[in-house]
Every structure is written in C-alpha cells, then in structure tokens.
Amino acid sequence: MVENLTVQLGDRSYVIRFAADLPHEIGVEVKRLTAAGRRCVVVTDTNVQAARPEMLKDTFPQVPLLAIEPGEETKSLAGLGRIYDFLAAQKLDRATMLFAVGGGVIGDLAGFAAATWLRGIEFCQVPTTLLAMVDSSVGGKTGINLRAGKNLVGAFHQPRGVFISTQVLTTLPPRQFAAGVAEVIKYGLLADEELFAQLDHRPLTVRSPELADVIRRCCALKAGIVEADERETAADGGRALLNLGHTFGHAIENAAGYGEYLHGEAVAIGLCAAARLSLKLGYVEPEAVARIERVIAAHALPTRLRTALGFQALEDAMARDKKVRAGGRRFVILKRLGEAATEANVPSKPVEETFREVGAY
C-alpha cells in the first residue's frame, strides 16, 4: 500500500510517496517518462550500488547511472564537476529527469546539479538513509560545501517527487541510522513534544514498528514549515527553525573537517549545545537539558566532541554561516520541549561557554 503526502507549493507542488517497498512505483514512473520521450538518468553512490544492486537494476533498467564516492567530502565542486561531465556525456536535453538515489549528500549534490544543468532540469529524490527521508529529501534545498563552510553554494530547487521506502533502511549501517535519528529528535524538540516523549520512552531502531509513522510525521512537519516559508525569508521563526542544532553542528563539521563527524552526529552535539544555550538565555530548566542529552545518548549519538577543536576555529566557521543576518548570528533556541524560536544577536560569551561545555576546548 502506498500513502501520499503533498507538499503544497503552487506550480512547484509535489507528492511524497511512502511504502515499505517502492521499486515498482518508481519503475512505473520511469516507464511513463520514457514513453513520453523523456530521458532519465540516475546519480547514486558506491555504497548504495554495493548494497542494493538488484534494486537499481530492476528499478532503472537501461537507465544511465553514475555512482560516486559517499561522504561529505564528495559534496564539493569536484563532485559537482563529475556529475556535470556525466550529464554532458549522455547528451541530455532539458526534458531529462534526474533521479537522486542515496542519502543527504547525493540528494543535495545531484539536486544542485539538476538545478543548474542547462539552467535547470527536473529531478526526483529517492532517499536511502533515515536522515534523507525525514529531512534533506523534502524542501528543495540543494547545494555543496566549500572549505569556507557548509552549503555555502546552492539553490532552492524543488523535486518533482520523493519516493520513500523503509525497506531500504534494512541495509543501512547502524551509525548511519543513528545519524538520521538526530534529525528525528530535532523535529520532536522544535514542534512535536509527543514525538520527543516517544523517543524518550523507547529508542527508535530500524525494527521499530512505529518507524514508518515517525518518518511520515517528520515529513509532514517539514512540509508544513516549507509551505509557509519556502525560501527562509521570514523575519522570525519560519523555515529557519529547521536549523535547530545546525548552527553549532555546521561549525563543528567545518572545523573538524568534513567527514570526521557524520552530519547527524554533528547535529546531535549541536542539539545539546542549543539546549545549553537556551538554558543560559533563561528559556529552559537544567532538567530539560539533561533529558535531551539522555535521549541523544540513548540513540548511540554523541553529546560531546570526541576531540577539542578550539573556539576560534568554531567562531570563524559560524561567522561564515549562511544564517548570519545583518552581520549578526541567529541561533535557534528552545522555549520549551516542543517549541523553538529564532534568537538574533546572541552575545559571544554564552556561545563560547556552550562550546566549552560540549568539549570544544
């Protein structure tokens, strides 16, 4: 049985399709496109290619495919160039549909390639990690990392469809699954206290009977936020709330070197930091911080840095962050469990103290 959720964005609206096993559904879409005279291509990574060769073969028969190395290091100008060279070799036109099959790196990278190839072609997201399913495949943010910072080059380019199959998570390494749970915890903290309480009561695993429902719940939350503030232009709140834990997390990824921490691991530490900053600003009690760290640790995620990074490197990374507005940093803080808000021009001292507490130096 296939369930649908529509992201309502006018002429850019699209459907997220949920099912335990979706290769047939995707195959039907490929046949429909081909019958209409449209070319299809697939961009994936070598991990997916090794773990799911039959899925790729059965779902995309005779469709040109590029498999690139996994990891944040690939989400770069060099990785983007590889996709451009692949698309050029196929002699594609503007009617082409690109399928991004993989985790958040593939979705962001291939999505940005689609946004810019021939000034824009359509693409579909086929997320294969929990993180991509609940977060990065929905909302149309695409981009690459630079040495200066994460996702500094990118575009808003909504997919034409998202295909989510929980069945592909059975071959996901435990560390990758845990990284995805960090984003699930984020959604609970910013807008769904009941979801957070559920995670506190029983850690989410790939075998949890509620997994499919949790994924749909997170997608529905993100869809609602994106529909209200697609391009993150709201003066307060809006789509920026999705960055809870990410201002700290992105700085950690940049200062540590992309690949040292999985994105979800850096976000997990960032959530602990956001909770501690919220405490310092007088919004939450120490008990809330302890509860957040307990839930994060229960899902095999870090609450502190493994090695010190130094505050200046983290400060420099935050200064280059795209969430800086009018020269001032904006953090997403917690008003309480299940409610977040944006906070502008936070003083450096509580930020520095927060980084010290999560082991930055």
**pLDDT, tens digit, for every residue of 109-149?**
999 999 999 999 999 999 999 999 999 999 999 999 998 88
Residues 282 and 190 in one domain: yes
Residues 139 and 186 in one domain: no
Residues 26 and 44 in one domain: yes
Number of domains composing the chain: 2
Pair 99, 60: CB distance under 8 Å: yes
Residues 163 and 182 in one domain: no
State the pLDDT at residue 23: 85
Pull the structure tokens for residue 14: 């699209």
Catalytic annotation, residues: 119, 141, 183, 222, 232, 239, 243, 246, 250, 263
Domain ranges, residue 102: 3-171
Residues 22 and 138 in one domain: yes
Residues 157 and 23 in one domain: yes
Burial class for 272, CB neighbours closer than 10 Å (0-12, 13-18, 19+): buried
**Residues 64, 328: Cα–Cα separation, whole Å:** 46
Residues 44 and 184 in one domain: no
* CB proximity list for 95: less than 8 A, separation 6 or greater: 37, 38, 39, 121
Residues 264 and 139 in one domain: no
Pull the structure tokens for residue 325: 């507005």
Residues 150 and 182 in one domain: no
State the pLDDT at residue 325: 62
Instruction: Find how far residue 41's CA is from the centre of its chain.
Output: 22
Residues of the chain with pLDDT under 70: 322-328
- Tell me if 211 is assigned to some domain: no
State the pLDDT at residue 70: 95
Which residue has tokens 């997390």? 249
Burial class for 167, CB neighbours closer than 10 Å (0-12, 13-18, 19+): middle
- Tell me if 338 is assigned to some domain: yes
Residues 77 and 116 in one domain: yes
State the pLDDT at residue 327: 58
State the pLDDT at residue 22: 83
State the pLDDT at residue 326: 57
